[in-house]
Amino acid sequence: MTQSAVVVPIAIWLHSPERAEGPLTAIYTWLQRNGRTIAAVATLAIGVFIVGYTVVQL
Q: Residue ranges of the chain with pLDDT lower than 70?
A: 1
Helix orientation angle between 4-15 and 17-57, rounded to the nearest 10 degrees: 170
- How many domains does the chain contain in total? 1
Domain that residue 12 falls in: 4-57
Which percentage of the chain shows pLDDT scores above 70? 98
What pTM was estimated for this model as a whole?
0.65
Which residue from 20, 17, 39 is spatially nearest to 28, judged by alpha carbons?
Answer: 20
Q: What region does 5 belong to: left with phi over 0, alpha with psi -120 to 50, or beta?
A: alpha
Measured CA to CA, the distance from residue 25 to residue 17 in angstroms comes to 12
Give 14: exposed, middle or buried? Use CB within 10 Å, 0-12, 13-18, 19+: exposed
